[in-house]
Structure 1
């Protein structure tokens, strides 16, 4: 059952990412300095591989969150949501900002990517405590 929880949590975060980046596509492209032509070339080559790797990495995050929740006794829906929100906001988001800072990327890119990470972790936390 735990493997199904982790799989479902990763899927929830993956779907949220699809919606998030579709809504913010133009803003993200400008902030990332990526043109539509570059994306068209990219999508024709390795997009499926990239999506697959992204999903596997989300499985890793969801699996570790489940482990931390089990060790911490987090088992209520509200606790899972808040813990996931905290993980995204206070662990993952600062790391994204640090990477973008040293890569001399705009703050707007950090806000977009960190916003997704925060919400995705909250969704993962919620889903992990649903079952």
Structure 2
């Protein structure tokens, strides 16, 4: 999926087809920090909501993804002028 994603998102590539910023550690560091922050907030929200079982956690996770994350990312991609295919790739992932 990396090639369709790079094409749809407009990532600049070198002669080998790798992203030009592939040696930059910043995206990986920020991704790790973001994942920790999101996990902490999700734990807080689920605990405050009384979600205590795997099935109810799965339903809550699906709801958060489908009704918060997908619309948010779709809006971001549309305002950035990115193709709808990028939204499908990212949100389907």
Q: TM > 0.5 between the two?
A: yes
> Which structure shows the higher helix fraction?
1
Q: Structure 2-normalised TM-score?
A: 0.87
Q: Say yes or no: does 1:33 pair with 2:16.
A: no
- Aligned counterpart, 2:27: 50
Distance in 2 between residues matched to 1:40 and 1:115, nearest whole Å: 22
Mapping for residues 1-131 of structure 1, pairs under 5 Å: 24-37=1-14, 39-44=18-23, 46=24, 48-116=25-93
Structure 1 unaligned regions, length at least 5: 1-23, 117-131
**4+ residue runs of structure 1 moved beyond 3 angstroms?**
none
Structure with max Cα Rg: 2
Distance in 2 between residues matched to 1:25 and 1:62, nearest whole Å: 25
User: What is the aligned-residue RMSD (CA, Å)?
Assistant: 1.5
Q: Structure 1-normalised TM-score?
A: 0.64
Q: How many residues align?
A: 91
Structure 1 residue 41, shift from structure 2 partner: 2.4
Structure 2 unaligned regions, length at least 5: none
